[in-house]
Amino acid sequence: MHIHRRQFIIGPPPINTIPGWVQVVISESVYLYHCPELPVTLVQDSDGQKFLILGFPIQTDAERPDPKIEIENSKEPYVIQDVYQTWAGRWVLIGRDQLHVDSSGLLGCFYHTRQNTKGETELWVSSSIALLIELLALHEKPTYSIHHAVGIDWYPPPGTSMNSILKLLPSQILELKSGALLHRRLLPDISRTLSYEDILDRLQDYLVTTLCRATRMYNRIWLPLTAGYDSRLLLATAKRAGLPVYTYTHIHPHMSESDRVLPPKLANAVGFSHSMIYGKEYRKDLDAIYDKHTGGLCVGQDKYYISHQYFNWSQKGDLILRGGCFEIGRCNYWYKFPGPGIISNVPGVDSILNGFKEEVNPALFGALAEWIDWTRQTQHQDLDWRDRFYLEQRLAGWLSFEEQSLDLIDAEKFYIANSHYYFAHVLRVPEEKRCFSQHQIDLIERMAPELNKFPFNPVSTQQKVLRHLIIAAKYLRSRMRL
């Protein structure tokens, strides 16, 4: 486990970087330096235009070739976003002097501009804020502190913990020569006449195709199981695809009883093995490595897992299927902000802070204000502002930071739901179904109906009734007009 594993930095030459890192020339004035464990693929289209693919993109459309071949087959004129809108996973694409992140920015990009000794403006970009701070010798103090599960427990993009460093939003493309930001659409256009069953057909094909293509390059496929919806949908997809996976559950003091009891039963129901993973003694040195690797931006459960050695079992050649990004289809933030959700009705900063019961501080207020200003300039038709908030804040903010922290472990991670194509289709599921995860239940019923015999996140009868009342109330509030 070593700091800056699988990270990269882009800037003008020369860069005093880490021994053993790989140098790639992007242009005369822009170089890429990356850890050798970060996959980087050079590819050119049919007209000789060169692109760099960083990370692990997977083609989700069964009728389209793998990302590298798709770019090679592309002929001018074409729009590069039309090429990658069906890619899933965690990746960055560089070409035509522009930088594009994956659909929710899980391979996040931080950027910093400064004047060199000649008075020229330099742009620096990295997947790691800690790497920028270290190599550029930045000495700013953090703008404020965050705490796990308290209010907004991430630094809202485009803000970060430092005033001089910003984070690229999923709705932005970064010009590498000028540092300018271009607008990028968040959802591709799909048919407005699709029925619910049509959407389920497409989502099922998407999940099975993506999982089959993602797993063919790895020795062992691991799936962390809980009592919830996301991991069970992945389990059903693996069963449908006929792919053997190793399931596991991290056992920790604060987990629910259902997360402890149900996973072995679920795995057994579809004929897969299951392991209970227990942590070991706390190691202060691992805790320090985690903080240094992340620049102190991560305060969630994974910090506990790393410092208590939960991932010691992972090896190179392992792939962990992660369930994040599915929640974008479940109206996650609607209950916090009831009322009409068209993008033009995005509220002010005070309303967002109140929804999270968050105290006001200037840095947090400023970051959210900047995001709100950008959303009002770059409206997306048919995209509820609360879903956009989940995508550009919870995913590109909180989850992206968490994923960068787990670059420390040997295994690779993969998010099957992280694609523009998936988001576009799941957000067309009728609200009354997606607010209750009915589309996930129906997909599981199609692919592994035996898994639906077990309850989701079960609690006592009294708690269950209360939970359903709360969910129903949240849904009704989301339908109310202000």
- Give the structural domain span for 85: 8-183
Query: 229 and 308: one domain?
Result: yes
Query: 152 and 294: one domain?
Result: no
Query: 114 and 217: one domain?
Result: no
Q: In what order do the strands lie in the sheet with 50-59?
A: 40-44, 50-59, 87-95, 98-101, 172-175, 181-183
> What length is written for the chain?
482
DSSP-assigned states of every residue in 130-179 = HHHHHHTT--PPPS----TTSSS-S--TT--SSTT-EE--TTEEEETTT-
Per-residue pLDDT at 116: 85
Domain assignment of residue 358, yes or no: no
Query: 68 and 21: one domain?
Result: yes
Query: 206 and 295: one domain?
Result: yes
Q: Report the C-alpha dihedral over residues 414, 420, 425, 428, rounded to 10 degrees.
A: 120
Q: Which of 162, 183, 204 is the last residue of a domain?
A: 183
Domain assignment of residue 189, yes or no: no
Positive or negative, the CA dihedral 76, 105, 329, 87 is positive
Q: How many separate domains does the chain show? A: 2
Task: Pull the structure tokens for residue 293.
Answer: 């690797």
Domain assignment of residue 354, yes or no: no
Per-residue pLDDT at 479: 46
pTM for this one? 0.93
Query: 142 and 203: one domain?
Result: no
Query: 49 and 150: one domain?
Result: yes
Domain assignment of residue 376, yes or no: no
Task: Pull the structure tokens for residue 309.
Answer: 């050695």
Distance from C-alpha of 124 to C-alpha of 12, rounded to nearest angstrom: 8
Query: 55 and 152: one domain?
Result: yes
pLDDT tens per residue across all 482 residues of the chain: 899 999 999 999 888 778 999 999 999 889 999 999 999 999 999 999 999 999 999 999 999 999 999 999 999 899 999 999 999 999 999 999 999 999 999 999 999 999 888 888 999 999 999 999 999 999 888 999 999 889 999 999 999 999 999 999 999 999 999 999 999 999 999 998 999 999 999 999 999 999 999 999 899 999 999 999 999 999 999 999 999 999 999 999 989 999 999 999 999 999 999 999 999 999 999 999 999 999 988 888 999 999 999 999 999 999 999 999 999 999 999 888 887 666 667 899 999 999 999 988 999 999 999 999 999 999 887 899 999 999 999 999 999 999 999 999 999 999 999 999 999 999 999 999 999 999 999 999 999 999 999 999 997 544 555 555 555 564 455 444 33
Per-residue pLDDT at 226: 97
* Phi then psi dihedrals of residue 330, to 5 deg: -115, 25
Query: 202 and 270: one domain?
Result: yes
Domain assignment of residue 2, yes or no: no
Q: Which of 150, 183, 216 is the last residue of a domain?
A: 183
Tell me the CATH number at 144: 3.60.20
* Phi then psi dihedrals of residue 52, to 5 deg: -115, 130
Per-residue pLDDT at 78: 94
Q: Which of 142, 157, 183 is the last residue of a domain?
A: 183
Distance from C-alpha of 234 to C-alpha of 381, rounded to nearest angstrom: 30
Domain assignment of residue 251, yes or no: yes
- Enclosing H/E stretch for 209: helix 196-215
Tell me the CATH number at 203: 3.40.50.620
Query: 179 and 279: one domain?
Result: no
Give the other-Cβ count within 10 Å of 430's Cβ.
Answer: 11
Is the distance from CB of 34 to CB of 8 less than 8 angstroms? yes
Domain assignment of residue 377, yes or no: no
Query: 52 and 104: one domain?
Result: yes
Q: Report the C-alpha dihedral over residues 410, 415, 416, 419, rounded to 10 degrees.
A: -140
Per-residue pLDDT at 465: 54
Domain assignment of residue 352, yes or no: no
Query: 78 and 105: one domain?
Result: yes
Positive or negative, the CA dihedral 286, 292, 294, 297 is positive
- Peptide linkage before 77 cis (omega within 30 of 0): yes
